[in-house]
Amino acid sequence: MELTPQDKSSEQSPESIEAGEKERWASLIGGGAMVLMGLRQRSLRGVLMAVAGGGLLYQGAKKQSTLKQAQEALGLNQPIKVEKTVTINKPAAELYSYWRDFEKLPTFMKHLESVTVLDDKRSHWVAKAPLDAKVEWDAEIIQEQENELIAWASTEDADIENSGFVRFKPAPGNRGTEVKVVMEYNPPGGAIASALAKLFGEEPDQQIGDELRRFKQLMEAGEIATTEGQPSGRD
Amino acid sequence: MKAVCWQSANNVRVDNVPDPKILNPRDAIVKITSTAICGSDLHIYGGYIPTVQKGDIIGHEFMGEVVEVGKGVNNLQVGDRVVVPSTIGCGRCYYCERDMWSLCDNSNPNGWMEEKLFGNITSAIYGYSHLLGGYAGAQAEYIRVPFADVGVLKVPKELPDEKLLFISDAIPTGYMGAELCDIQPGDTVAVWGCGAVGQFAMISAYMMGAERVIAIDRFPERLEMARKYAKAETINYEEVDPGDALKEMTGGRGPDCCIDAVGLEAHGVGVEDFYDQTKQKLKLETDRPHVLRQMMVACRKGGTLSIMGVYGGFVDKMPLGAAFNKGLTFRMGQMHGQKYMRLLLQLVLDGKLDPSFIVTHQLPLDEAPHAYKIFQQKQDNCVKVVLKP
Ligand SMILES: [Zn+2]
Ligand SMILES: [Zn+2]
């Protein structure tokens, strides 16, 4: 199909182009409302809660788009924050519905032992920790848009406060769906990051990347590629 | 089972290891009847490929008989005779769906390593380092074949292995090397390297309409093979400078297309060779790019370079000015075997292609250490070894 110049201009205003380039989680999370109060709470969780609370005017942090920028602006370096995106060759609805069934998440999230759904909003998470230890918490969905977004946060009394969202966005040119995960882990009382590193690996970035890749393999190929259990001359 | 296990640079051993098992629904287990040593296995043997570990089973060119299938494989049965492509593709990602199987998104479980190094993940290859998946290789009695419901080629029982085996790796690699040249009628194609891939690239170039094929190597027996079976004119680069010779042979223009069937262990002559050998030994450069440099200077203006020899890391001192000012096109990549195998089988069935000329040695699997040695040293006129488990 050929676009006339007029079509183009009506489709992409200068503003929307800028918004596309400088992707803000405000706009990811949707609704347009957000940020100031959330950022004052110095955490992604705060942001998500603020959005869920609604009614806040979007202002101030317009250009503070990515996680890193926000982090720098606020001088946050204690919590572990991760932002990763992968493109999956499947429609958003299919990916969303698999993910929304939280009890299936341990299939591709290796650090999780189990997730138990308690009710429509709340679920109980058990993660593996070294030396057969376990870390548990309750989480609740604080924002949800069917086939587009799921945002969650741990409840107030969690051992490790954590929050995040997963966003499903159709990729251009029939390339499937861009699945983006943003997550944040807050150790209790601002404890050192190494305690978390034990749980989520030396490089949480890589771990979330691996988990997203396994999700992609499962959704596209129907199974997760593995070499565990194959022979070698080391056995 | 018995398997060829890499120990250290220039040292492989035939060990007893556990039999492979079905690990995923789309797996099959194949009993190997023939497996070859590929030229690119020599890069592993010599210790040039990073992330190969002691004890890894190597080898990626093979065929055999299906002995077990996973519950997700409906189109193969126990007893089927199959040729398996050396690159592993899932068949369902963006790249596999577009016949770019060696760029598969989903077959490499160690993708993070590759993503860090190359920026993206490509397909896994059997027995070709942990960077490229860490799958157990084919120089063994049995092998686990992942995603066996796609890509695996069923072949008739009556043809001998030697006519079918190389459809696994060497023939599609050579064929793709020629295809990437986009050969026009009347073109002259120069091929660096007269190993199996080079020979099949030359034969394929003629099939695609090349008028002349010129082969470059330094071993008389390989050059002789190129003359006899691939109908090529030849240049021995230890006797004459290939750049000058190619110019003279092509009326001062240079070849229209240049194919690299050598890769990162190319040998050169003189100071340049010393420079690359030294840097590679000091790990300042992972790959020795003699052939690339020669191709960039020798190729005619506006010509195409097709790179099928394996490169793993970094090269330097490249005459990019030549390539830029001459407007050269570079095309390259691991081969998309699954795209070509059916066509290649048909050529063999029709009698238009008989690849068995390439085999100079057939040895039992137990003699793999000897086979690697004679292939690497080019002793006993060795061009291609087939191992029989
Ligand atoms: Zn090969
Ligand atoms: Zn694939």
Predicted-complex ipTM score = 0.91
Residue to substitute from A175, A220, A228, interface B, most B β-carbons within 10 A: A220
**pLDDT at position B157 over 80:** yes
Q: With CA atoms as reference, report the closest residue to B216 among B243, B186, B252, B184.
A: B243
Q: What pLDDT score was predicted for residue B315? A: 79
Nearest to B15 among A89, A229, A233 (CB): A233
Is B90–A206 a contact, with Cβ atoms under 8 angstroms apart? no
pLDDT digits (tens, 9 = 90+) for B104-120: 999 999 988 888 888 89
- Model pLDDT for residues B298-309, shown as the tens digit of each residue: 999 999 999 998
Location of structure tokens 């970094």: B314
pLDDT of residue A203: 66
Q: Please work out, in degrees rounded to the nearest 5, the angle formed at the alpha carbon of residue B310 by the alpha carbons of B335 and B143.
A: 60
Higher local confidence (pLDDT), B89 or A3: B89
User: Distance between CA B367 and CA A204 in Å, rounded?
Assistant: 46
Look at B130 and A160; give whichever has higher pLDDT. B130
CB B219 within 8 A of CB B39: no
Q: Say how many Å lie between the CA of residue A217 and the centre of ligand 2.
A: 9
Look at residue B342 and give its three-state secondary structure.
helix
- Among residues B138, B240, B232, B238, the alpha carbon closest in space to that of B178 is found at B232
Percent of chain B scoring above 90 in pLDDT? 86
Measured distance CA(B87)–CA(B122) in Å, rounded: 10
Measure B201 CA to nearest chain A CA, in Å. Answer: 32
Partners of residue B92 in chain A, C-beta under 8 Å:
89, 220-222
The rounded distance, in Å, linking the Cα atoms of B335 and B176 is: 6
> From ligand 2's centre to the CA of B365, what distance in Å?
31
Q: Which ligand is nearest to the CA of B26?
A: 2
Of B19, B57, B90, the CB nearest to A232: B57
Burial class (CB in 10 A: 0-12, 13-18, 19+), B324: exposed
Q: Which residue of A has its CA nearest to B124?
A: A225
Chain A interface disruption, residue of B23, B106, B114, most A CBs within 10 A: B106
**Least CA distance to B146: which residue of chain A?**
A225
pTM for the predicted model, two decimal places: 0.86
Distance from Cα B79 to the centre of ligand 1, integer Å: 26
Of the candidates A57, A95, A107, A92, the residue with the CA atom closest to the CA atom of residue A226: A107
Q: What percent of chain A is helix, strand and coil (3-state, nearest 5)?
A: 40, 25, 35
DSSP assignments along A169-186, one per residue: EEPGGG--EEEEEEEEEE
User: What percent of chain B shows pLDDT beyond 70?
Assistant: 96
- Of A202 and B204, more confident: B204
- B258 pLDDT above the threshold of 80: yes
Higher pLDDT, B174 or B316: B174
Nearest to B92 among A221, A227, A232 (CB): A221
Tell me which chain B residues have a C-beta less than 8 angstroms from the C-beta of A224. Answer: 24, 109
Q: Which residues of A touch B (CB under 8 A)?
A: 87, 89, 175-176, 206, 209-210, 213, 216-217, 220-235
Q: Which range in B114-128, B152-166, B268-282 is most confidently predicted, on average pLDDT?
A: B152-166
Residue A52's pLDDT is 54
Q: Determine the distance in angstroms separating the CA of A165 from the nearest CA of chain B, rounded to an integer.
A: 22
Which pLDDT does position B24 carry in this prediction?
Answer: 98
In the reported structure, the alpha carbon of residue A91 is separated from the centroid of ligand 2 by a whole-number distance in angstroms of: 17
**Region of poorest pLDDT, from A138-142, B46-50, B152-156:** B46-50
Per-residue pLDDT of chain A (235 residues; tens, 9 = 90+): 333 444 434 444 444 444 443 445 544 454 333 433 344 445 666 666 655 544 333 323 333 334 444 444 444 445 677 888 999 999 999 999 999 999 999 999 988 899 999 999 999 999 877 666 777 889 999 889 999 999 998 887 777 778 889 999 999 998 999 999 988 877 654 444 445 555 565 567 778 889 999 999 999 999 999 999 999 998 7
C-alpha distance from residue B367 to each of B2, B7, B20, B149, B361 (Å):
12, 15, 22, 33, 11
**Does the distance separating the beta carbons of B107 and A230 come in below 8 Å?**
no
Res A78: pLDDT: 57
Q: Which of B2, B15, B105, B131 to mutate to test the interface with A (most CBs of A within 10 A)?
A: B105
- pLDDT score, position A206: 79
Report which DSSP code applies to A20. H
Record the tokens describing residue B3, joined without a space: 């398997």
